[in-house]
Amino acid sequence: MKEIKLYVGLNDMDTLSQKYDISIYFSILKNVCFRYHVPFSFTVSEGGFFFENGDYTQEQTLILSLIDVDEHVAREVAKDLCVFFHQESVMMTTSEIDTVFIRERL
């Protein structure tokens, strides 16, 4: 199976600061995933990066994990999140993973 992760920063690309409470971003993320009919999980992380001009920033980042989702659909999700969160870009990584479902009943 394939796991695709989307890394979406929360700092607005113009103001370089987070404009909204994190719960607003959660709501948008959930609605986008629902609209595309993709199963998902996400975490919030603190991170930092350098711009092409050498400037450095730190921000909260949502890491969206999509498992067994078509790459084309994941790209569409990334594009929507890029627009809705007013980002310069969204980073997408792809990994092959081994998946096992454990089931047990009493």
pTM: 0.90
- What is the identity of the amino acid at 84? F
Q: Which domain holds residue 55?
A: 2-96
**Is residue 104 in a domain?**
no
Sorted by sequence, the CB contacts under 8 Å of residue 30 that are 6+ apart come out as none
Q: What is the DSSP letter of 37?
A: T
Rounded Cα distance, 65 and 4, in Å: 6
**pLDDT tens digit at each of 106 positions of the chain:** 999 999 999 999 999 899 999 999 999 999 999 999 999 999 999 988 887 888 888 999 999 999 999 999 999 999 999 999 999 899 999 999 999 999 999 8
Are 40 and 66 spatial neighbours (Cβ–Cβ below 8 Å)? yes
Strand partners, 58: 48
- Is 22 inside any structural domain? yes
Split into its structural domains, the chain has a count of 1
Whether 93 contacts 66, CB under 8 Å: no
The CATH number of whichever domain residue 27 belongs to comes to 3.30.70.60
102 occurs within a structural domain: no
Q: Is residue 24 part of a domain?
A: yes
